[in-house]
Structure formats: structure tokens, C-alpha cells
A and B are shown apart, each in its own frame.
Chain A
């Protein structure tokens, strides 16, 4: 078990954040900290644009940073569950 930082890019729509927060509780995971902002610096997200073959516009998506303390296996499961949410473009572990 160690503390992980997850980064989630999701559509900036009403209710999208609640789905992620709700999922943590529903699946029995714990959120230690959470920070969310609309993405303004889209030029820093070229890798994601390329990966998903999309073009981002300012304030169109939000970036969510969540810290949680979990095992490797559970981290994989959490990321898969978050990635399954329809409004989520990508969820990954933040590289250190």
C-alpha cells in the first residue's frame, strides 16, 4: 500500500465530478485529497490529444487530481472503473 496520485481528464459537464466521487464510495475506495480545475492550458495536453485522436478546447474538459492509498492491484481496478465512466476521457496514475 502506498499513496498514489491519479490524474483524470473528464468532460467539463454538470454531474461528471459526482460520478467519480460517487464511484470511490460505491466501490469502497477512499479519497485522501481531491483537486479539480477546468483545463485552460490545452497546449500542455498534446500527448492526450494524440492518444485519443481528439482536439481539446479551453475549458472544455476538467483535470481532476485524486490522491488515495491503495495496492497495485486495487489501483489498476480503480483506474479501469474510472475509465469506464462515459464522461471520462482518460484516467491514469500521475508519473512521479
Chain B
């Protein structure tokens, strides 16, 4: 069969199982857009800004586990996509970004809308390709999807000079069935010797903690993790990126750890004699000061990326391989030695953790307050949303205090339900990410918990939601300030609120959202909160924006003491430090 480059590209994407392309057209991508027009298998979603396209593809990828696909034009189209590519890179999300480029003969001439996309994106991609000619397109697409989805996943950029997709030049088209990149062989199976060492350490442990992160979600290892802990009954904590991989309702779940982790999680990590890290990377929000981190703990580290092991915290036992496969082997080995696991040995440790929870655990009953003598607490908003959605919604968030409240108070029992920018911390992520999730799961509840600062960074996507009729629920936790910035200024800068408030310049969100053709409600009183949220969620076929004015003085606690603190050093309130 002979086809032009633009059709070869689309046929190659169809062959990879692509359902949606999130994108925005422009000069250098017009041949590709013409090929999209002439087919029905892939639906193109027209966003309002390329950043929205990348976040939508990212949300789709996080919720489904399949790669998100983005198409942008050259120059500003490509540079606008950068923030979203970096967001996906930091959280190891599979994504393929197709960027138009000026024609090959114009490259390097400072042509109209020319930019060196390969150069600009190099530090924030897993790999990138420039298409040299149309007959290379199908192989490049095959390799790009393989790289994006295998090993430690990540974004791959394909820069496509306009001439390689010209409709008037035909090339032989053959779909490659598989691909082999000789210089790229991501590890899959673990080293059994290391697994046996891990089993010995697990049997010896008296104060163990399982610390699971986003890598365990990327590897689809949730079932294995639950099965593992049926054998072990160890306390479990999840990172911000790992929430949902272990059921929050399980009795052994201690909540999130780290900067705004629960008291019991942070204390357990600090005092542990064994930390089993599973697809987690000891990021600085987790370790606090690395030299003071978990001083008595032996570390077993499971990861697919060898460069993540012993990068920050030296691992005693390193298990490189797909986390899912490694856990399966570990479970088999533990089952062989079942008679050697003494559950009584960790009893005092479990009791100690229960005591910590009783002393300073989070209060999950704040939503019961309905008196109008006090302001609405942001935590209570999340708790209401959790109860109204029966804990079954896909929840996306932006970045800041509302993100931490959502992570602390919405209990995720399944992986891929909590969709947030953990690594890069990208404000503006929540709404477009929710769009991507809603396309993937149109019959499920999708909630974006956001703040009045973050939502304004990609608010133009409300227009996309109108075009495609996406009935997302947006909960705007409005404290009329950049809350997390303000919190740090309160805690560390003598309360000097430098550029963290807007001085009455906020829009009327209800009017704004209504002008985009959606429903919106404003809530200012505790007594209206529950009923308004219930009304919003009852409008199944409409996007509803609920603008909730909350106590502007509220902070997120616990909060690690930094700099020079360990995981046991926390602020528990504005004036209580342990």
C-alpha cells in the first residue's frame, strides 16, 4: 500500500490503539490535521491552549495507564506544551507528543514559528525523535510508544517537519509489528538473590513499614501489594503519588507521609527498623533532611529505574525490575517461608502506631460542623465531597493547600483515582486533567478539587468542556489567596504576605463560569455547604462549578519542620511543634 506521510502517521497511531488526540492546529501541523479530518477512528479534542492538551493527555494516561497523545504545531504551539511535558516527566507518565516543525529545508533559518523543540524539551523527555522522512514515520511511532510505556514510563516528543507529512508524495506503508531498540533494555524480572535477602530482612523486622509510591501504580502492582500485605500485615504508607495503590480503608493504612503526611506515617518511618520502598524515590518532600532520615532503618528498595535506587538514601537491598513482577516473586518466596513469619513480633509496633494515630491523627469528622458562627473549613469541603461521591470518584487537583487537603481527606481505595501533579507541582493541571479522565471514563464521577489561584491558570478549558459536553464537577476551595505560599510566609517569613493576595481583584466565578455556558454556585456559609454540594453532584449531565469561600487563615498540618528537620519534626498546628 502507498500512502502520504500524513496518512502514514495517523494509521500508525490507530495501530497503537490511540483513541484520543488532544491538540491544537497550526501551520506546520496542517497536513496532519487534514489526515485527521479524513478518518473516523481517532477523535481529536480541540483544547484552548496547548498546556491544556498536555495535561488532558496526562490525565487520560494516569487514569487509564495507556499513553496520552498530544498534537501541537511548531513554535509557540510546541513551547506552550512544555509545562505539561515536564509535568508528565516528573511523575513518569507515558505520553507521546507530536509537534509540527517547519519544513526540513527551513530548519535553522529562523523561519516563521520555528523553534528547536528537540533542544527545548531535551531535559524533560524520556526520549525524542525528529522525523527525517515519511518512510520512517511508522517505525518512529512504534519506537516512541514502546519507549513511553515501558520501563519507567515518560513523555516522548516526535518533531515532524512539515514536508515529511506532505499529502502529494506517496510512500510504501508497512506497519512494523514489533520494535527492538538495541541500546534500550529496561529491566523486568528481579534478581532472585536480592529477593531472598529481602525475605530474610522481612522475617527479622520488628518495626517494619511499607512505603509505596507512584511507581507501584505505574507498574499496576496494587493487587500484588495487597496480597503481599495479607501475608505480612505490615503498616503501609503511600506517597502523594502512590495514594490509592493500597486501600485507604484498610486497617494497616496510615495515610500519606512526608511534608504534609500524617503524624503516624512520619513517626513510623522515622522509627522503623525496616523500610520497604516500592516504586518510590525518596524525594525531598519525603525524606526531609536526608542525613536525618530514618536513622535505624534497613532499606529494601524496589524500582524499575536503577538510577532511582540509592540516589538519595542508600539501599541495603536493591531490587531492580518491574515492581509488579518483583512483588510476585517476593510473595512466592514468602509463601515458601510462611512458617518463619511471626506476627506477634510486630504487635508492639502496631500498638505504638495506633497510639500515634490516637494522639495526633487527622480529624475526619470536621464535615459535621454546620454552624454559621465559624467559617467553612477547607478540610470539611473535601470530606463532604468524599461522602457525597461514596469515595468512588476520580479526583484531580491543582497545586497548593487544596491539593494537600484532598490528599489527606479523600480516602482512595483504588489506584489511578487520584490524579495530581506531584513532582513538578503544576498549577493549572486539575481542570484539563479532569477532561482527559472524563473522556476515558464518561460514566464515572470526575471531580476537580482546585483553588481560586490554580483554576485561573487553565480556566480557558471551560470552553473545551462546553464543546465536548464534559459534566465535570469543579470544587473551588476559595481562600482568596495563594494559600500555600501564604502559609509558608506565615510560618517562615514573619507573616509578610508578599504577592500572595489579590486585593479584591478576583472575578465573580459564578458569572464567569455561566458565561462559558455551565452551572455555578457560590457557598459562603457552613449551613449551605452540604446541600449545595449535593445539588451540584445531582446535576449529572452538567459541568458544575462550586465556589466555596473557606477560612483564609487555615493552614495544612502536619507540616515538616524545614530546613534541618527529620521526619519526626513536625508542626501540628500554628503554635504546636513536636
Contacts and interface: CB of A to CB of B under 8 A. Distances in A.
B446 to A, nearest CB: 34
A10 B307 contact: no
Interface in A10-46: 10-11, 14-15, 18-19, 22-23, 26
A93 interface: no
A25 to B, nearest CB: 9
A65 B426 CA distance: 38
B118 interface: yes
B183 A15 contact: no
Interface in B134-163: 147
B118 A15 contact: yes
Contacts of B307: 77, 80-81, 83-84
A57 B123 CA distance: 30
A80 B182 CA distance: 17
Contacts of A70: none
Interface string A64-88: 0000000000001100110110111
B123 to A, nearest CB: 5
Contacts of B123: 22-23, 26
Nearest to B152: A84
A10 B181 CA distance: 12
B130 A86 contact: no
Given A11-B183, A19-B122, A86 B306 contact: no
Q: Which of B118, B128, B183, B305 has the largest count of A CB atoms less than 10 A from its CB? A: B183
A6 to B, nearest CB: 15
Interface footprint category on A:
20 to 34
B494 interface: no
Contacts, number: 36
Contact of A89 (B126, B130, B182, B305): B182
Nearest to B182: A54
A52 interface: yes
Contacts of B181: 86
A83 B306 CA distance: 10
A84 B305 contact: yes
A52 B305 contact: no
Contact of A86 (B118, B184, B310, B311): B184
Contacts of B306: 80, 83-84
A22 B310 CA distance: 22
B126 A86 contact: yes
B408 to A, nearest CB: 33
B525 interface: no
Interface in B299-339: 305-307, 310-311
Contacts of A10: 183
Given A10-B183, A52-B182, A54-B182, A18 B122 contact: yes
A33 to B, nearest CB: 22
Contacts of B108: none
Contacts of B507: none
Given A14-B130, A22-B123, A87 B118 contact: no
16 contacts: A11-B183, A15-B128, A15-B130, A18-B122, A22-B123, A26-B123, A54-B182, A83-B306, A83-B307, A84-B307, A86-B181, A86-B183, A86-B184, A87-B183, A89-B182, A89-B183
Interface of A: 10-11, 14-15, 18-19, 22-23, 26, 52, 54, 76-77, 80-81, 83-84, 86-89
Given A11-B183, A15-B128, A76-B310, 16 more contacts: A10-B183, A15-B118, A18-B119, A19-B122, A22-B123, A52-B182, A54-B182, A80-B306, A83-B307, A86-B126, A86-B147, A86-B183, A87-B183, A88-B183, A89-B182, A89-B183
